[in-house]
Amino acid sequence: MKGPLDRTKVVVRHLPPTISQSALAEQIDGRFAGRYNSVFFLPGKSRLLYLTFQTRMHLGFGLELYREPRDGCGWLCFPKRQSYARVYLDFKRPDDVIEFAEFFDGHVFVNEKGTQFRTIVEYAPSQRVPKHWSKKDGREGTIFKDPDYMEFLEFLAKPVENLPSAEIQLERREAERAG
């Protein structure tokens, strides 16, 4: 396990659910370009709960909501549960982590509706960074030599023999019965 001074992977939490990876990269790269190894972005989700007006909804603490249709509106929309976007960054040096945390911890992002999101920067729970696999599959490229595949390609290359239409088949059967 890495010691507290050797940690290089951080997570930035409480990002707006609608922020894109490119918009976030612009903000981070403005000050920390080239100082991190990898980025893993997880977009947020914003879900809405739609209710019809004639629905009775229990709001907790003994409160209930009764709504009747007004002005031709038949739907009532409540924000349900939103999950924030987050990003994992693996820095090259522990000093960069400290500088990044000082700059982005508590940084306020504003979404398109004007809602403010105050970010939290903390060490990632797992300091492991996924490795890129370079192991190749031994069967890669061998399908073109497979006899079953070659037979399948020959079958596809043959012209399709369509059956005669139902009218022609009916005329043939009637001719066989009459003849």
Over the stretch 98-144, which tens digit does the pLDDT of each residue have? 999 999 999 999 988 888 999 999 999 998 887 777 888 888 889 99
Does residue 69 register a pLDDT over 80?
no
pTM of the model: 0.58
Mean pLDDT of 34-56: 73
Cα separation, 12 vs 19, whole angstroms: 13
Q: Give 71's pLDDT tier (boundaries 50, 70, 90).
A: very low
Mean pLDDT of 66-80: 49
What tokens were used for 174? Answer: 């009637």
- Are the C-beta atoms of residues 46 and 113 closer than 8 Å to each other? no
Highest-pLDDT range among 45-49, 50-54, 91-95, 131-135? 91-95
Q: Would you tell me how many other CB atoms lie within 10 Å of the CB of residue 88?
A: 16
In one-letter notation, the amino acid at residue 119 is: T
Q: Return the axis-axis angle of helices 21-32 and 94-104, rounded to nearest 10°.
A: 120
Does residue 65 register a pLDDT over 60?
no
Q: Give 53's pLDDT tier (boundaries 50, 70, 90).
A: very low
Does residue 43 register a pLDDT over 60?
yes
Q: Which of 3, 2, 9 has its CA nearest to residue 38?
A: 9
Q: Would you tell me how many other CB atoms lie within 10 Å of the CB of residue 10?
A: 24
Q: Which helix (H) or strand (E) holds 37?
A: strand 36-42
More confident residue, 64 or 11: 11
More confident residue, 135 or 145: 145
Cα separation, 49 vs 55, whole angstroms: 12
Q: Quick one: pLDDT at residue 55? A: 45
- Are the C-beta atoms of residues 90 and 37 closer than 8 Å to each other? yes
Q: Would you list the domain boundaries of the chain?
A: 1-49+82-129, 143-178
Q: Give 66's pLDDT tier (boundaries 50, 70, 90).
A: very low
What CATH number should be reported for the domain whose range is 1-49+82-129?
Answer: 3.30.70.330
